[in-house]
Amino acid sequence: MNTPHTTAEFTHVDAITGAGEYRARASRPLTLPDGTEIGAVSEVPRLYVTRAFARLAQAPVLPYERRLELLAKAADLFENAVLEGRTVDDYLDLVSRCAGVPRAIAHASVAAIARTLRALPDTLAQEIPRGAVTDIDDPRLRDGAAYWARRGKTLAVHASGNTPGVHSLWPSALALGYAVAVRPSSREPFTPQRLVRAFREAGLAEQVALLPTGHDVADALIEQADRALVYGGQAVVDKYAANPAVLTQGPGRSKTLVTDDVDWREHLDTIAASVAGLGGAACTCTTAVLVEGDAATADAFAAALAERLAAYAAEHPRVELPEVTARQLADHVRQIAAATTGHGPAELVEVVRPGTAVLRPVVRVAPDARAPVLGVELPFPCVWIAPFDRAEGIGPLAGSLVVTAITEDTEFAQRLLDEPSISNVYIGAHTTTWMKPGVPHDGYLSEHLMTTKGVIR
């Protein structure tokens, strides 16, 4: 937290659609980690949602080039303009105070969102299938060609609130010609609110909506939309597994692997940054590190990493949580870590203000690379270490959003590339949190939203 907020202003997050704004009579409180109520998030009823989607489905689809122009304009507004009566500094203060996200991380996320929006012309040019056209007047259609077509008109987004960065993905749907409705999280509704405002002011008022709802109405968005993007835990992933219209962004269970043909001592900084970067809260943060060698090697690595993480934590702002949440997480760690051995401080919770706490990094060694605890992902720097042997195969690395393989073994890296349950593979000394516009994060979103149609004219 930088400067304390001097105004006692009550903050409202209300619904926004092409028809205007709506402050619902039903709302849930917006609170700081210590429980202080600073505002309210409207909870619109099902009927409001269905009416909003009826409007979105009628929104005109602007020409491709025009959409990209408007999104670039929105990027400038998002990054610089006074929106919702707030400068970007005021907005960042609100995000960091409310969600407990360090201001530096929030600021970096905002820059990343704006950069992603500006890069859309190049990104989409890479994403589009090589043979496809985007315009009915394209001369290639005379000989017949693929046309890049939307699978629907509307996209619903159930956002999460761990960092503003989750909102860098869905705006590309606007570039693809979708109309988009976002249900913000109550922990951090300010980024989607600011983005929706920026898109409106840029000229996409009819194509975008903010629909805050209670849990009982949340499914109405998915039911009404043609496609959906949903963030959540394993339960959410399981709930929508059979629904092809829903793309889930679940736990990342991202992992780092160090084989014995490299010296792990040279990569401690990279691995510490993978574990604790972005506050340790992102799905790309490393959850488990597999170290090739015996138990003693894993233990030596863990001791060194714990030391490096303590230094990292001292230099970087950490995610602040309600004290009660922090204590629950600490208890949870104690329960699930029964069969592991620990490094680092015994007391995990550090109270930074009354009612507000941070969690100290957790480094624990599991007996082997197949221990289920390696899949436990928590929203703070918490990493499980296990000894590994390349002869065991890539099984322990399956089911990961990102695998960073610090190895010289190209053949092993190829096996990771060939494994369908691993989304991203970074070979060499890269953090698992590495990202770049144009490089897919969990596939391209356009794979979910678009298809190709054969056309000749």
Site residues (vs another protein, CB under 8 A): 24-26, 43-48, 50-51, 54
**Residue 359 near residue 321, CB atoms below 8 Å:** yes
- Min dist. Cβ of residue 316 to another protein (A): 42
Closer residue to another protein in complex, CB, 95/179: 179
- Min dist. Cβ of residue 16 to another protein (A): 15
Closer residue to another protein in complex, CB, 54/241: 54
Radius of gyration of the chain (CA): 23
Which residues 6+ apart lie within 8 Å of 147 measured at CB?
Answer: 132, 133, 134, 136, 141, 452, 453, 454, 455
**Residue 220 near residue 250, CB atoms below 8 Å:** no
- Min dist. Cβ of residue 48 to another protein (A): 6
- Min dist. Cβ of residue 36 to another protein (A): 23
Structure token digits, residue 222: 């998915």
- Min dist. Cβ of residue 179 to another protein (A): 18
- Min dist. Cβ of residue 42 to another protein (A): 9
Which residues 6+ apart lie within 8 Å of 406 measured at CB?
Answer: 256, 257, 258, 259, 262, 264, 267, 270, 428, 429
Structure token digits, residue 261: 């043909």
Structure token digits, residue 281: 């809260």
Pairing assessment for the beta strands 227-231 and 246-249 based on DSSP bridges: parallel
How many CA atoms are closer than 13 Å to the CA of 441, on its beta-carbon side?
25
Helix (H, G, I), strand (E, B) or coil at 17: strand
Closest CA to 261 of 391, 408, 433: 408
Pairing assessment for the beta strands 254-258 and 362-365 based on DSSP bridges: unpaired
Q: State in Å, rounded, how far the first CA of the chain is from the last one.
A: 60
Closer residue to another protein in complex, CB, 44/221: 44
Q: Specify the DSSP class assigned to residue 204.
A: I
Residues in the chain: 457
- Min dist. Cβ of residue 13 to another protein (A): 15
Closer residue to another protein in complex, CB, 54/324: 54
**Residue 210 near residue 193, CB atoms below 8 Å:** yes
Closer residue to another protein in complex, CB, 50/325: 50
- Min dist. Cβ of residue 25 to another protein (A): 4
- Min dist. Cβ of residue 243 to another protein (A): 12
Task: Count the neighbouring beta carbons within 10 Å of the beta carbon of residue 269.
Answer: 13
Closer residue to another protein in complex, CB, 24/429: 24
Closer residue to another protein in complex, CB, 206/219: 219
Closer residue to another protein in complex, CB, 90/223: 223
Closer residue to another protein in complex, CB, 47/351: 47
Q: Is the dihedral of CA 129, 134, 140, 142 positive or negative?
A: positive
